[in-house]
């Protein structure tokens, strides 16, 4: 591998792996930008060599978070059709244009989601959120500015405590916020008018894969009859699940859980650190995407409309069988 062209991909991969870049949308945009930056500085003469290097780059980025469907989709959409181009300059232009379109659509999707989702929040509401979702926070901010939200309860979201980012972001905007430990979600649920969270992945059956702890919050909301709303851009919907594939749940290292101790300080103790869990569709009242508000059971239709099924996304344009991942 050439050191120069791969530097943006290495830098971005490391930032994703170490959680410097976190959140499904931010990860997806960072990966797309890295691929676009890579082709701009790639200076080899061979079309086939560039395609080979792009495939290696795609693998490097995907390996950082293999269970993140948003990352996978961003890579595939950024590289879509590049293998059908005839020369280096055409490949470079295709990747550049794909990335530009993806980044624009991704950012615009959050703005549209905020306008749509905030209308579902009643005036004077107290809302709970979990982890740190730009899409969910966009709804909360829009609803607060419209006089619909009085206070937000943000969970810590251990072990990385992304809830601190959420609480700080809300406080900076003058939105009253209270941080609670994850295990207190049910304790406060009866006082909530709405739960609003983001999504890492939306499966074809309507299940939502999101930060660990989301499913138990949804269960508590269901039991308390508190509406549970998910904010998710359409690129977080998983075409692979349409073909029967299961969403892989990443299990990270024990040092994140043992902190500030070290795993070796607790001899004989095993650790499990799943990053995500699956919230069943029956606990989800609505999913807000840039196409509108849908029932989770409409996820299949969104996947077919956006991606045309599994083959068109995993393969190249026009039915090509070239696979990047």
For helices 24-41 and 88-117, the axis angle rounded to 10 degrees is: 160
Q: If you average pLDDT over residues 185-191, what whole number do you get? A: 98
Would you name the residues annotated as active-site residues?
131, 200
**Percent of the chain residues topping a pLDDT of 90:** 80
Q: Do 135 and 203 sit in the same domain of this protein? A: yes
Q: If you average pLDDT over residues 81-91, what whole number do you get? A: 95
Residue 235 belongs to a domain: yes
Q: If you average pLDDT over residues 105-123, what whole number do you get? A: 97
Please give the tally of structural domains in the chain: 2
CA 199, CA 255: separation in Å to the nearest integer? 25
Q: Do 204 and 261 sit in the same domain of this protein? A: yes
Q: If you average pLDDT over residues 278-295, what whole number do you get? A: 97
CA 302, CA 205: separation in Å to the nearest integer? 11
Q: Return the minimum-mean-pLDDT range out of 44-53, 60-69, 239-248, 316-325.
A: 316-325
Q: Do 284 and 297 sit in the same domain of this protein? A: yes
Q: If you average pLDDT over residues 232-237, what whole number do you get? A: 94
Amino acid 3: pLDDT: 59
What is the pTM (predicted TM-score) of this model? Answer: 0.85
Query: pLDDT per residue over 289-323, tens digit each?
Result: 999 999 999 999 998 887 764 444 444 443 334 56
Q: If you average pLDDT over residues 140-153, what whole number do you get? A: 98
Question: Measuring CA to CA, how many Å separate 108 from each of 10, 128, 132?
Answer: 27, 24, 19
Q: Do 284 and 144 sit in the same domain of this protein? A: yes
CA 246, CA 144: separation in Å to the nearest integer? 37
Question: Measuring CA to CA, how many Å separate 175 from each of 137, 147, 192, 214, 276?
Answer: 11, 11, 16, 22, 27
**What CATH number corresponds to the domain at position 297?**
3.40.50.10470
């Amino acid at each position: 591998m050439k050191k120069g062209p791969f530097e943006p991909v290495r830098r971005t991969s490391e930032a994703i792996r170490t959680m410097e870049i976190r959140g499904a949308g931010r990860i997806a945009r960072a990966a797309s930008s890295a691929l676009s930056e890579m082709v701009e500085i790639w200076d080899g003469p061979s079309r086939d060599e560039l395609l080979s290097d792009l495939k290696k780059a795609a693998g490097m980025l995907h390996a950082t978070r293999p269970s993140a469907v948003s990352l996978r989709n961003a890579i595939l959409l950024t590289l879509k059709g590049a293998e059908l181009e005839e020369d280096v300059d055409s490949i470079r232009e295709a990747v550049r244009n794909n990335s530009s379109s993806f980044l624009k659509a991704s950012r615009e999707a959050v703005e549209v989601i905020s306008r749509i989702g905030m209308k579902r929040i009643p005036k004077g509401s107290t809302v709970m959120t979990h982890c740190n979702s730009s899409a969910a926070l966009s709804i909360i901010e829009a609803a607060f500015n419209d006089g619909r939200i009085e206070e937000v309860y943000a969970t810590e979201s251990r072990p990385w405590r992304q809830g601190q980012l959420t609480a700080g972001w809300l406080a900076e905007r003058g939105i009253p916020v209270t941080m609670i430990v994850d295990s207190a979600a049910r304790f406060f649920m009866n006082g909530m008018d709405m739960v609003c969270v983001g999504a890492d992945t939306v499966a074809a059956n309507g299940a939502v894969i999101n930060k660990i702890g989301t499913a138990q919050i949804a269960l508590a909301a269901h039991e308390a009859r508190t509406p549970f709303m998910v904010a998710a851009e359409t690129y977080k919907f998983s075409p692979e699940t349409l073909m029967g594939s299961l969403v892989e749940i990443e299990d990270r290292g024990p040092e994140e859980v043992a902190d500030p101790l070290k795993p070796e300080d607790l001899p004989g103790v095993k650790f499990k650190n799943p990053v995500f869990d699956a919230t069943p569709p029956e606990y989800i009242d609505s999913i807000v995407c840039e196409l509108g508000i849908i029932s989770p059971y409409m996820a299949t239709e969104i996947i077919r409309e956006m991606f045309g099924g599994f083959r068109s996304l995993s393969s190249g344009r026009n039915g090509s069988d070239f696979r990047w991942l």
